[in-house]
């Protein structure tokens, strides 16, 4: 009887050893895990950083750099636009008491820049404003292209937050008009037509002072 019991014990141990031994040519498997279907990795996979959200265009331009010079394709248009120092905001332009704003156009080497702000003073609109800030990329006949942004602040829109139109801004002039209007310049917050204009301000003519003769 003892021999039979010993033989059974040896057979059980041999069967257990065979069950734990992996087949030839394979490696040992991991111990059972409480995670399903597999344990979490020791290190999270690396993810490449996405494209920056600033300075976008459509379609996206790779390696886009800020302009360093203004392409002047029409000298006549450039001479007019150099004096486009008046800003008109169509939303309030017809209200009695409305006044235009002032824009400043300057040249930094071969690059033109523009910056301006209009504070509304028409009754009931105090505190509202529109501003422009950008660089002039191209000046062509009846067209000016500015890379920058125009911001509209209207108290009753988005609780007075500034609603911005940014990117490549297209200003167009018709015929002999002295006004460049922002194309597609609707307010992005409520869809209103803002009718934002840059107007040519004719420089004051300097009349020659007549020479005075000697009095006798």
Which is more confidently placed, 13 or 119?
A: 119
**Distance (Å, rounded) from C-alpha 182 to C-alpha 198?**
8
| Token pair listed for 73 | 């394709």
Residue count (the chain): 216
Express each pLDDT in 171-180 by its tens digit: 999 989 999 9
Contact 81, 138 (CB under 8 A): no
Across the range 40-55, mean pLDDT stands at: 50
Cα of first residue to Cα of last residue in the chain, in angstroms, is: 160
Location of structure tokens 């006044």: 99
Which is more confidently placed, 40 or 60?
A: 40
Q: Which of 31-40, 60-69, 114-123, 136-145 has the lowest mean pLDDT?
A: 31-40
pLDDT classification of 95: cutoffs 50, 70, 90: very high
Contact 114, 96 (CB under 8 A): no
What average pLDDT does the structure give for the chain?
80
Q: Of all residues in the chain, what percent carry a pLDDT higher than 70? A: 64
| Token pair listed for 139 | 């000046």
pLDDT of residue 8: 56
Across the range 137-157, mean pLDDT stands at: 96
């Amino acid at each position: 009887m003892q021999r039979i019991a010993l033989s059974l014990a040896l057979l059980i141990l041999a069967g257990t050893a065979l069950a734990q031994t992996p087949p030839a040519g394979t490696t040992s498997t991991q111990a059972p895990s409480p995670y399903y279907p597999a344990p979490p990795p020791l290190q999270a996979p690396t993810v490449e950083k996405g494209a920056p959200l600033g300075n976008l265009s459509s379609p996206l331009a790779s390696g886009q750099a800020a302009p360093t010079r203004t392409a002047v394709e029409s000298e006549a248009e450039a001479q007019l636009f150099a004096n486009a120092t008046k800003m008109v905001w169509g939303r309030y332009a017809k209200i009695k008491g409305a006044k235009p704003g002032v824009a400043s156009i300057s040249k930094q080497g071969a690059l033109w820049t523009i910056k301006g702000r209009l504070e509304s003073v028409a009754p009931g609109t105090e505190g509202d404003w529109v501003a422009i800030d950008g660089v002039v990329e191209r000046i062509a006949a009846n067209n000016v292209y500015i890379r920058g942004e125009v911001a509209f602040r209207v108290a009753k829109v988005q609780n007075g937050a500034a609603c911005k139109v940014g990117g490549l801004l297209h200003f167009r002039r018709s015929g002999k008009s002295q006004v460049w209007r922002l194309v597609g310049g609707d307010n992005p917050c409520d869809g209103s037509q803002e009718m934002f204009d840059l107007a040519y301000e004719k420089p004051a003519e300097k009349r020659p002072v007549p020479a005075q003769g000697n009095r006798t």
